[in-house]
C-alpha cells in the first residue's frame, strides 16, 4: 500500500501509543502493516512468547477481543485483567502496578477512565503502553478507521464529517485527519465540541499537511458533499448520569436517511460501535449499502496487530 503520507513532524519513533499524536510519524507504516496483516502477507509468529497485559476499567467488546485474538495470531498471548480483580482496584498505586507489570510482560494495553492515569502508567513503565480508550482519546480506533477510509475511498483526499458528541473518538480522528491531509468537519452543538487543546494541536499539524478542520453546529454545512459520515454514541461510558440531557441536546444530530441526502451520494457511514439504534444512528442507515461499519469493526483486528507488531517486536 503506497499511502504517500510521509510528512515529517520531526519527532522520534513512538515508544508508547497514548495519544494518536504519538503515531504522527508512523501512520503510513502502521497502515501499511495493517493492510499486510489483512492480506495475510506477514508469515510466522513475530510475537512468539510475548505477552500483553490488558487492563480494563470499563467494558469492551471490540478492543478486548481484537487485542486478545491479535496477540494469539501473532504467536503471543494476552491477559485480560479487570481493574476490579487487580490490587489496583483495592488502592495499589499506578506506579507500583506499572513497575511490577514491566517485570512480567512485554506490553500493556489500558482502557482507563482518566487519560492521566494512562500517562502516569507509561511514566513508570519500561515496556510499551497502549491507550485502549480514555475519556480523552481512542488512538487504536482512529488508526483502524484510517485503514477503513483508505480501503473504501482509495485515498485521504476526502472530507470526514463527525456528527454528534465531540468526545474521545472524535479527538483522535482530528489528529488522524490532520496527519493524513484529510479534511474534517465536526458537527455538534457548542457544548459538545472536541477537546480545545487537541483542536489547537491538530490545527497546527493540519497547516503542514493542508488538511482543513472545521467545527460547526450547522448540520447542512457540516455534511454538505462529505465523503465519510462518522458518529459515536451520545452517552459514552461514564456519562450515564446525564443520559437524558445528552439525548435531548443531541437529538437533531442523528445519522438518518435525511442526513445522508446532504452528503455526497457515494458517502460511506462509519460508527466505532457500540451503537444505540434510534439515538445517534438509525437501524436503516446501519444496514444500508453506504454503511461500512462491519468492515470498520473487522479492521480493528488488523490495525491492532500492526500496532502490536510495531511496539512489541524485537
Ligand atoms: N469501538 C470500541 O472500542 O469498541 P469496544 O468498546 O467494544 O471495545
Ligand atoms: N465514546 C464512546 C466510545 C466507545 C468505544 C465511549 O467512550 O464510551
Task: Specify whether the CB–CB gap between 205 and 272 falls below 8 A.
Answer: no
Q: What is the pLDDT of residues 122-167, one digit of tens each?
A: 999 999 999 999 999 999 999 999 999 999 999 999 999 999 999 9
Contact partners, residue 28, CB within 8 Å, separation at least 6: 3, 4, 5, 6
Classified as helix, coil or strand, 207 is helix
Closest ligand (CA of 236): 2
Contact call for residues 152 and 270 (beta carbons, < 8 A)? no
Going by alpha carbons, the residue nearest to atom 7 of ligand 1 is 61
Find the catalytic residue in 16, 28, 272, 296: 272
Q: At what angle do helices 293-312 and 27-38 cross, to 10 degrees?
A: 110
Ligand number with the minimum distance to the CA of 272: 1
CA 230 to ligand 2 centroid distance, Å = 13
Closest atom of ligand 1 to CA, residue 273: 1
CB 13 within 8 Å of CB 41:
no
**Could you name the CATH architecture of 139-296?**
3-Layer(aba) Sandwich (3.40)
Catalytic residue among 115, 246, 300, 310: 300
What is the value of pTM for the model shown?
0.96
Which ligand 2 atom is nearest residue 141's CA?
5
Nearest CA to ligand 2 atom 6: 236
Residue 272 appears among annotated catalytic residues:
yes
Domain ranges of the chain: 20-137+300-312, 139-296
Band the pLDDT of 14: cuts 50, 70, 90.
confident
pLDDT for the residue 9: 57
What's 163-199 look like in SS3?
ECCCCHHHHHHHHHHHHHCCEEEEECCHHHCCCHHHH
31-86 pLDDT, tens digit each? 999 999 999 999 999 999 999 999 999 999 999 999 999 999 999 999 999 999 99
Return d(Cα 75, Cα 88) in angstroms, integer.
28
Give yes or no: 300 in active site.
yes
Whether the domain at 20-137+300-312 and the domain at 139-296 fall into the same CATH topology: yes
Residues within 6 Å of ligand 1 by CB: 60-63, 133, 141, 272-274
Residue 4's φ and ψ, nearest 5 degrees, are 50, 45
Active site residue 310: no
Q: Are 184 and 213 in contact (CB under 8 A)?
A: yes
Tell me, in angstroms, the distance from the centre of ligand 1 to residue 10's CA: 32
Q: Where are the beta strands (DSSP E) in the chain?
A: 51-56, 77-82, 107-111, 129-131, 159-163, 183-187, 213-216, 228-231, 268-271
Catalytic annotation, pick one of 141, 279, 296, 304? 141
Mean pLDDT of 197-212: 98
Distance from the alpha carbon of residue 228 to the mean position of ligand 2, in angstroms: 19
CATH number of this structure's domain 20-137+300-312: 3.40.50.1370
pLDDT tens column, 156-189: 999 999 999 999 999 999 999 999 999 999 999 9
Atom of ligand 2 nearest to the CA of 60: 5
Amino acid at each position: 500500500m503506497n499511502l504517500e503520507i510521509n510528512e515529517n513532524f520531526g519527532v522520534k519513533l513512538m515508544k508508547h501509543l497514548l495519544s494518536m499524536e504519538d503515531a504522527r510519524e508512523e501512520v503510513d507504516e502502521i497502515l501499511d502493516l495493517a493492510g499486510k496483516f489483512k492480506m495475510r502477507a506477514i508469515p510466522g509468529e513475530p510475537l512468539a512468547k510475548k505477552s500483553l497485559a490488558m487492563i480494563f476499567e470499563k467494558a469492551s467488546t471490540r478492543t478486548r477481543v481484537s487485542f486478545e485474538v491479535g496477540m494469539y495470531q501473532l504467536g503471543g498471548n494476552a491477559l485480560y485483567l479487570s481493574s476490579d480483580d487487580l490490587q489496583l482496584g483495592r488502592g495499589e498505586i499506578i506506579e507500583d502496578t506499572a513497575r511490577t507489570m514491566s517485570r512480567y510482560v512485554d506490553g500493556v494495553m489500558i482502557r482507563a477512565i482518566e487519560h492521566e492515569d494512562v500517562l502516569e502508567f507509561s511514566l513508570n513503565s519500561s515496556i510499551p503502553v497502549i491507550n485502549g480508550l480514555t475519556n480523552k482519546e481512542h488512538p487504536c480506533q482512529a488508526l483502524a478507521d484510517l485503514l477503513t477510509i483508505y480501503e473504501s475511498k482509495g485515498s485521504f483526499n476526502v472530507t470526514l464529517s463527525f456528527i454528534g458528541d465531540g468526545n474521545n473518538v472524535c479527538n483522535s480522528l482530528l489528529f488522524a485527519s490532520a496527519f493524513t491531509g484529510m479534511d474534517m468537519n465536526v458537527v455538534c452543538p457548542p457544548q459538545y465540541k472536541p477537546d480545545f487543546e487537541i483542536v489547537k494541536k491538530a490545527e497546527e499539524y493540519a497547516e503542514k499537511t493542508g488538511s482543513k478542520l472545521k467545527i460547526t453546529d450547522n448540520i447542512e454545512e457540516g455534511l454538505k458533499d462529505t465523503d465519510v459520515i462518522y458518529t459515536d454514541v451520545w452517552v459514552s461510558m461514564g456519562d450515564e448520569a446525564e443520559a437524558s440531557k445528552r439525548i435531548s441536546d443531541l437529538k437533531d444530530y442523528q445519522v438518518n436517511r435525511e442526513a445522508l441526502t446532504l452528503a455526497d451520494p457515494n458517502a460511506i457511514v462509519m460508527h466505532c460501535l457500540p451503537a444505540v439504534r434510534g439515538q445517534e444512528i438509525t437501524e436503516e442507515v446501519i444496514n444500508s449499502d453506504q454503511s461500512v461499519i462491519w468492515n470498520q469493526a473487522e479492521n480493528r483486528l488488523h490495525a491492532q496487530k500492526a500496532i502490536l507488531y510495531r511496539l512489541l517486536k524485537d
